[in-house]
Amino acid sequence: MGADDEASFDAFFRDAHRRLLGQAYLLTADLARAQDLTQEAFERAWVHWRRVSRYEHPEAWTRRVLHNLCISEWRKQRRREERPPGTPVVVAAPGEDHLLLLDVLRSLPPDQARALVLHDGAGLTVAEIAVELSVAEGTVKSWLSRARSRAASVLGAAYQLERGGC
């Protein structure tokens, strides 16, 4: 690749890295793992940069790759949890609040969870999410509303339990 490709990728990386890392951290609850997955997503973007750079939204393509990597990570985690008793698994322990957030995200339908992470986690607007997911803005608003309602009910129940309520 040429110097122009390197320069455009460097600019893309500087602009998008923080948002993508934030998304990965929300989905994995492990900063080191989030950094690894974000790096892997950027490596894949670099490998295909000549094609990806011509897309209207290269960050959306990279975010989709990152999202898929995080979903794969969830599946691996589930398989690790299904190991026979006595099989050691070493996993960094995320904080209680982060675990609760992950439980909320996992309880949501995938489209709602993704919209919530993109909006509240990665800071995308409703319009940007609609473009990225190829849906109407009204659909994104609906997903966000439903996701927040579900999150509020789960988080509210957890808050009640924490305070000793019912």
- Domain boundaries of the chain, sorted by first residue: 1-92, 95-166
**Residue range 1-92, CATH number:** 1.10.1740
Over its length of 166 residues, how does the chain's per-residue pLDDT go in tens digits?
Answer: 677 888 999 999 999 999 999 888 888 878 899 999 999 999 999 999 999 999 989 999 999 999 889 888 767 766 655 556 555 545 555 566 667 777 788 888 888 988 888 888 778 889 989 988 889 999 999 999 999 888 888 777 654 444 444 4
Q: What is the 3-state secondary structure (H, E, C) of 60-101?
A: HHHHHHHHHHHHHHHHHHHHHHCCCCCCCCCCCCCCHHHHHH
Structure-token match 């009640």, residue found: 160
Q: Do domains 1-92 and 95-166 have the same CATH topology?
A: no
Find all residues with CB under 8 Å of 95, minimum gap 6, and list them: 29
- Level-2 CATH architecture, domain 95-166: Orthogonal Bundle (1.10)
